[in-house]
Amino acid sequence: MRDDAALHALYPVFDALPASLVADTLAAAQWIDVPDGAVLFDEHQPCEGFPFVLDGAIRVTKHAPNGRELPLYRVTAGETCILSSSCLLGHAPYTARGVSEGPVRLMALPATRFDTLLAEPPFRDFVFRLFAERIAGLMQLVEEVAFRRLDQRLAAVLLGKGRVLRVTHQQLADELGSVREIVSRLLGGFADQGLVRLGREQVELLDPARLREIAATS
């Protein structure tokens, strides 16, 4: 369902554009509600629009032939998907998968309208500013995957989410871009050291200070 007020509140860049252009743009856009777990785009598919998330989140991941998944980033309300902008700018297909996390409400801007808005400096600055921010985050992810041990990354993931995490080993593996068996083995090691207590779809932190030391180990 169309929601102009929410769009303007989350994406104030539209207030900086000519009113007639905004009206034409919103009239041409698609307003979409998707359920939890829906695949919004996938590898090798053409990019047919630019999403503005109004509610919920899109999880963007890269998949390997062996089934492993590497989370790249999440697009929440008020943010943009740099993969979509990259594909539209380069006229190339998607190179990752986007799946809804919970119910998602979004406005999809047709590719032709995206090109039109890019001619407006406020919109162009908006897209490339968020593009730069997201690239910085992806570079940090590359650094962590390439240079930090998995036990360090697991310890870091466990911290900052409360004393008890309601999470499965598979969910942790997905977040780390690893496989469940390896994560389960590392968690078992943490449990043997008295750092965590494992339960059914639950990890209780017993020694956060020691986990922080492991996460910070160079």
Work out the pLDDT band at 104, boundaries 50, 70, 90.
very high
Section 12-34 average pLDDT: 94
pLDDT at 210: 93
Work out the pLDDT band at 22, boundaries 50, 70, 90.
very high
Same domain? 34 vs 69 = yes
Same domain? 69 vs 30 = yes
Average model confidence (pLDDT) for the chain?
Answer: 89
- Domain at 93, CATH number: 2.60.120.10
Same domain? 158 vs 84 = no
pLDDT at 144: 63
For residue 85, give Cα distances in angstroms to 24, 38, 55, 95, 201.
Answer: 20, 20, 20, 12, 37
Same domain? 44 vs 76 = yes
Residue carrying structure tokens 């339960």: 199
pLDDT at 2: 83
Same domain? 21 vs 75 = yes
Section 145-165 average pLDDT: 85
Residue that finishes a domain, picked among 121, 146, 171: 146
Which residues are CB-neighbours of 87 under 8 A, at least 6 positions away?
Answer: 46, 47, 93, 94, 95
Q: How many domains is the chain partitioned into structurally?
A: 2
pLDDT at 145: 64
pLDDT at 147: 61
Q: Structure pTM?
A: 0.68
Same domain? 99 vs 132 = yes
pLDDT at 42: 94
Same domain? 171 vs 113 = no
What range does the domain containing 38 cover?
4-146
Residue 177 predicted with pLDDT over 90: no
Same domain? 42 vs 128 = yes
Section 86-92 average pLDDT: 90
Question: Of all residues in the chain, what percent carry a pLDDT higher than 90?
Answer: 61
Same domain? 153 vs 210 = yes
Which residues are CB-neighbours of 146 under 8 A, at least 6 positions away?
Answer: none
Report the distance separating Cα 208 and Cα 104, nearest Å.
34
- Domain at 198, CATH number: 1.10.10.10
Least confident of 86-100, 111-125, 133-147, 169-183: 133-147
